[in-house]
Structure 1
Amino acid sequence: SFIFFFSVFSFISPPPSLTRRHRQELFSVMEKSRESNFLFCNLCGTMLVLKSSKYAKCPLCKTTRNAKEIISKEISYTVSVEDIRRELGISLFGEKTQEDAELPKIKKACEKCQHPELVYTTRQTRSADEGQTTYYTCPNCGHTFTEG
């Protein structure tokens, strides 16, 4: 899986003109912000957008938050390879999807449209001493029916 990190500190760094005391105070604020939900709006929960070095703004309800509250906060989230594959619609190598699978065909006319060939699957739906149920599907009209 992949882990992504986002650091607000990379966008806002303390100006070099700050005194040692102010830097300590600023880093103290940074430390406190790490412990809270600083990146989300207190009113609606939307992720805040950093508009300048002084404030962050909620794009939904337009409230603002002092940048001192969010400086150097890091968030991380994990995206698995399976998540990426699912999002892009990619299957594993050699894995066939339902649409890709080659179903067996039989020369039998469709009850509905008389198409001469049907695809079928079988399943044991009752006890082992009884026959299987065969499910037929017409590739032409999609009509399905069973036998057995």
Structure 2
Amino acid sequence: MKKLTVTFLIVIASITSLSAFAQTAPASGFTIENYYKVKWGHADEFIALWKKNHYPLLKKLLEHGDILSIKAETPIIHSSEDSRWDFKITLVFKNEHLAFDYSIVDPYKKQLFPDQEAYQKAEQYRFELLLAHWDVPVEAVVLP
């Protein structure tokens, strides 16, 4: 009975240790945050176009396993004009190579958007709404 109790306690301690490690270990994959600063008054329009024209491509990459997660955020209030951003997408790619292979969406463009002329025109307009766009590769910092 004592052996069973000791074994049980060791298993519980191991599970607890693994759980604590999982909370502090960096996530696998390669993470990039995409920031978009849009002309004043056009953020909702930009986000709607992004959801219509770019998000379906990212969902295909997610289904295929090239992207591990997609997260979208917008600030509740704006900061100063020089540091303002309107829309942020956090993408976790399977690896660094896929994160910088901009052609990985090409096979899905014609499949999802058969009218390529309309798609190109909508994408051109979406980028005309931008004042700035920057991508930031980030890594997790393990905290004690």
Higher helix share: 2
- TM-score of Structure 1 vs Structure 2, range by shorter chain: under 0.3
Q: Which has the higher contact order (CA 8 A, sep 6+)?
A: 2
Structure showing greater Rg: 1
TM superposition score normalised by structure 1: 0.21
Higher strand share: 1
TM superposition score normalised by structure 2: 0.22
